[in-house]
Each structure stands twice: as structure tokens, then as C-alpha cells.
């Protein structure tokens, strides 16, 4: 009887912990806790021909400060997310980094700029956004950039063209979190998705570089779909090699 009671209590605690790991902010926006210091933010929008589509971003926290990697799809969703982080979690957003120039990565940059939140991106992203008349990230880098949040380091790298010609990866060694965004596909993806602005010839080499560069990655976050481990990169490499 005692064992049964203990088992029921353990199941109840586990259910409570799991429910706390997902924070529903609005009908089209939620956060998933992946470590004590990091959340994935997931936002949804309706895309013609695709229906309701979810996109992933990353929030990294140190003390009462946070960095945002990729924004939700638009300014309205981004304002809702930032307001939640500030008012409900007591965080100050210290900076923003988009993976590339598409709306699922920086559709909310206009709002962030209106709040004077500093943004960093590949210099290629800066050039593309200028050419397209989109909001332009404040600071650019060519090959790599190191950002700091408190005592924690954040590494930004341009690994080469893949999903787009300007896509980057984010590496947070203290958490062993790798955020390659739309370069990387989820485990259930059967193809590379939208590559209209990418480079299919360079894709396998770029993914191989990421795999070799980050052998210690524990959590790997794709641009869309469920997060996982390094197996997502090997899956993506297989898709890219057999395109």
C-alpha cells in the first residue's frame, strides 16, 4: 500500500513538473523550459500553402538579464513575449540575435529596435535586410562573435550557407545548448524544407562543419519542430546529402 501511495505521489509530482515546463503566454505563443537558464519560445502563424506553422527561438537567462535569439513571427507577438519576460519574470533583455533574415527569425526586430534593444547579426544579414528594406540589425560580424551575459559566454558563428546564405549558429557552452535554427531539421522532417534562399550545394559541408565544431552539444534546437540532441544534425546531414 505504501509503495502504491509513493508511486502516485511521484507521478503527481512528475506531472506537475512537466506542466510547469511549458508556459502558455497566448494562443500563438509559449515557452518551453530546457534548462535552469534557458527556454525555447515557440510562436505560430498562418502561412499560405502551409497552414499553421510553428517556429522556435531561444531565451538565455543569467540573473535578471536575458538574451533573445530569434523573435516570434511579428512585432505584436514579440511585444507580448518581451512584456511577459519583463513583467512576469523580472528580466531585462540585453540583446537580440536572429539566425537569418526570414520573418520566423526577425519578424519582431522592428519592435525590438523601438525598445532600443541592441541587435547583432551576420554582416550578410545586415546587407540582405538593407537591400530588402527590412529593419537592419545594429551590429554585424563576419565569421564569429562572442557575447557575454553576466559571466556566461555566448558564441555566434557563421558556418557557411545552408538554409539561407546568411544563417548562423549559436553555441552556449555553459548549457551545452546549440541553436542552429533553420539549418537543422527536426527528427520527423522528411526534407530540408524551404531552401529558396539557400545553397543546396553548400548545405552538406555546412552541416558537417557544425557537427565537427560542436561535439559537446547536448541540446540541439531546430528552427521548427521538437528539439533533441546531436542526432538532429546527423539527420539533417543525411537529408542534405541525399537532396
Catalytic residue chosen out of the listed positions 194, 197, 208, 213:
194
Is 101:167 a contact under the CB 8 Å cutoff? no
- Assess whether 56 carries a catalytic annotation: no
Query: Is 15 among the residues known to form the active site?
Result: no
Q: Quote the CA–CA distance of 71 and 180 in Å, as a whole number.
A: 14
Catalytic residue among 102, 156, 167, 184: 102
Q: Which of 28, 56, 75, 224 is catalytic?
A: 224
How far is residue 59's CA from residue 156's CA, in Å, rounded to a whole number?
15
The catalytic residue among 41, 152, 185, 235 is: 185
Which candidate in 75, 152, 156, 163 is catalytic? Answer: 163
How far CA 83 is from CA of 52, 87, 112, 120, 127, in Å, comes to 24, 6, 11, 21, 30
Of 156, 182, 184, 235, the catalytic one is: 182
User: Which among 28, 70, 75, 104 is annotated as catalytic?
Assistant: 104
Whether 182 is catalytic: yes
- Measured in degrees and rounded to the nearest 5, phi and psi for residue 108 equal -105, 10
Q: Annotated catalytic, 102?
A: yes
Annotation says 208 is catalytic: no
- Residue 42 phi/psi, 5-degree rounding, is -120, 125
Residue 188's contacts (CB-CB under 8 Å, 6 or more residues apart) are 225, 226
In the chain, DSSP finds a helix count (H) and a strand count (E) of 7, 13
**Separation of alpha carbons 166 and 203, rounded Å:** 12
The residue from 56, 70, 100, 152 that is catalytic is 100
Which residues are catalytic, by number? 100, 102, 104, 163, 182, 185, 194, 224
Amino acid at each position: 500500500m505504501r509503495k502504491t501511495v509513493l508511486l502516485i505521489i511521484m507521478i503527481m509530482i512528475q506531472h506537475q513538473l512537466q506542466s510547469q515546463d511549458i508556459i502558455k503566454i497566448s494562443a500563438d505563443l509559449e515557452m518551453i523550459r530546457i534548462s535552469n537558464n534557458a527556454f525555447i519560445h515557440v510562436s505560430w502563424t498562418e502561412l499560405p500553402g502551409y497552414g499553421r506553422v510553428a517556429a522556435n527561438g531561444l531565451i538565455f537567462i543569467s540573473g535578471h538579464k536575458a538574451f533573445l535569439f530569434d523573435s516570434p513571427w511579428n512585432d505584436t507577438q514579440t511585444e507580448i513575449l518581451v512584456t511577459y519576460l519583463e513583467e512576469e519574470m523580472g528580466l531585462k533583455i540585453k540583446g537580440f540575435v536572429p539566425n537569418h533574415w526570414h520573418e520566423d527569425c526577425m519578424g519582431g526586430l522592428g519592435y525590438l529596435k523601438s525598445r532600443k534593444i541592441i541587435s547583432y547579426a551576420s554582416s550578410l544579414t545586415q546587407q540582405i535586410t538593407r537591400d530588402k528594406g527590412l529593419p537592419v540589425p545594429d551590429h554585424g560580424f563576419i565569421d564569429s562573435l562572442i557575447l557575454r551575459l553576466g559571466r556566461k559566454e555566448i558564441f555566434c558563428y557563421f558556418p557557411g550557407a545552408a538554409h539561407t546564405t546568411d544563417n548562423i549558429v549559436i553555441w552556449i557552452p555553459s548549457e551545452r545548448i546549440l541553436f542552429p535554427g533553420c539549418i537543422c531539421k527536426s527528427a520527423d522532417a522528411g526534407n530540408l524544407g524551404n531552401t529558396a534562399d539557400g545553397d543546396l550545394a553548400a548545405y552538406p559541408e555546412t552541416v558537417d562543419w557544425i557537427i565537427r565544431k560542436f561535439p559537446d552539444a547536448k541540446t540541439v534546437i531546430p528552427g521548427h519542430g521538437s528539439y533533441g540532441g546531436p542526432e538532429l544534425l546527423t539527420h539533417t546531414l543525411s537529408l542534405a546529402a541525399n537532396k
